[in-house]
Chain A
């Protein structure tokens, strides 16, 4: 049996009277690449925020490695092995790529409160930064200021900064949004290869691009109006026109290859 990493049990999340998630349950095991799909407003971001402990569900709960996520706090959870990125790309504009990636490296090494040593002289962490950058093909960009990067590179740096924590599970909210379709494939491929190289065991990614899902996902979770309407392997998903219809609208003709 494969090891279970995350369990969402009957989670319900409301904004006032509006129910954004209605009793959603699923488990995520080691080795899975789970694509979360659904129309805008389906509750995908709310799901990621709840899984990562940013929101407390109104009902139900989330367990990571068998322990509840609630009340743990983002930084503790991240250090325990559950990392995430955000739907809008988040970089620190004035940081260099190396600096941005090193924040997590220092946190992971328990060096955040090291006050009197220049971070550039911390050899072990800087070596990790180079290793992570190399995994993302960013090694030639280490000294570039983040604000000067292309949109695609910003996305990669954003994700790389989180993967420096070497999480077991990584949640990615629309990692390819805002990227030209020509670049999407390359970004996704880079990020999956990097995740594997850095020892990430499972990925959950909110994704709209059916081609990418067909190519990379091992499982598809469909959300609609806060309810779980599909949870199946990609080939079953793409063989079910009714499910695709509810979740995506029309089927892109080339998604099935």
Chain B
């Protein structure tokens, strides 16, 4: 119930945003939604499953390239078809890689995912014909539910139909995740995070539970990646670079690890923070790093944790 109310508040803010902020800022919100979708998936694995992946930018890129290859090379403009291919491709890759990575936990898991991410990054450079190499592939405007919006300008398309589409997509993916984390599966995943041995003696096949979470997180990242590619108009190899994975982890921690609203709060805060810092200082990377350190030390539950604490304090 509380979750639904909080979600409606978030939704209301995103519905109001384009009217309040105008087209320029609205184009900046679409990447926020894209990251929120992707990170909602990564949060399942990292926050609820306790498995820190340094390779999930790969799945973001798989989504982006699926959209780009479908639209630019195969002439399939229907975004729904692109999304399905993105999810299938990403789910398949996750199913293969997960089989190996999940034999390990802790730092060994992290390093293996990092390694696969790096392999994938170099793959994007190598297979020029498919991926466009260093320059990537530009993403043609997709059609949404069969409508091509050909008469619209690029910005009008993005801040109009595509914005609402992305918001709808985020809502659906978010609500699905709300169910997943409160389901018996979500419980088993968290239990395995807290104590693997104990959990397996409670009849839970911990590996399989993590495997499903890994695949789901890959699928979420691919959907986010496809939305991201349309909003920036291109899929390029930097999307899969390991620093991108680092950023994704940063945003989750900033928002609040293992909390349903962590990714959306993180994505909004990160964008605002980065914009403000970049506009005011050339040392913005330093400032971002310092903020991450402060959050980890003083607010381990992230900005969301601070908000919850403030709300509880006010209620008293």
Residue numbers of A with Cβ under 8 A of B are 52, 54, 73-79, 83-84, 86, 90, 92-95, 99-100, 102-104, 106-108, 111-120, 122, 125, 161-162, 164-165
CA distance A78 to B198 in the complex (A): 11
Q: Taking A92-B195, A95-B191 as contacts, is the C-beta distance between A107 and B202 under 8 angstroms?
A: yes
Is B201 within 8 A of A162, CB to CB? yes
CB neighbours (8 Å) of A113 from chain B are: 184-185, 208-209, 212
Interface positions of B from 162 to 213, Cβ below 8 Å from A:
176, 179-180, 182-188, 190-191, 194-195, 197-206, 208-209, 212
Complexed CA–CA distance, A242 and B92 (Å): 65
- Flag if B194 contacts A119 (CB, 8 Å): no
CB of A106 within 8 A of CB of B200, answer no
A75–B82 alpha-carbon span in the complex (Å): 39
Contact check, A103 vs B188: say whether CB atoms are below 8 A apart.
yes
With A112-B209, A116-B180 in contact, do A74 and B200 touch (Cβ < 8 Å)?
yes
What's the dominant secondary structure at chain B's contact region? Answer: helix
A118-B179 in contact given A94-B194, A103-B188, A106-B184 (Cβ < 8 Å): yes
Q: Which residues of B contact A99 (CB under 8 A)?
A: 187
A52 to B200, CA, bound (A): 12
Asked if residues B190 and A92 are in contact (CB atoms below 8 Å), the reply is yes
Measured between alpha carbons, how far is A107 from B184 in the docked complex, in Å? 9
24 contacts between A and B (CB under 8 A): A54-B197, A73-B200, A73-B205, A74-B200, A77-B201, A78-B200, A78-B201, A86-B198, A90-B198, A92-B190, A100-B191, A104-B203, A107-B203, A112-B184, A112-B185, A112-B205, A112-B209, A113-B185, A113-B208, A114-B184, A114-B185, A117-B184, A118-B183, A164-B202
Chain A residues whose CB sits within 8 angstroms of the CB of B184 once the complex forms: 102, 106, 111-114, 117, 119, 122, 125
B197 in contact with A74 (CB, 8 Å) = yes
A194→B191 CA distance, assembly (Å): 23
Chain B contacts for A92, CB-based, 8 A? 190-191, 194-195, 198
Contacting A at CB under 8 A, from B195-244, are 195, 197-206, 208-209, 212
Chain A residues near B194 (CB-CB < 8 A): 92-95
CA distance A114 to B212 in the complex (A): 11
C-alpha spacing A78/B201, complex, angstroms: 6
A78 to B187, CA, bound (A): 18
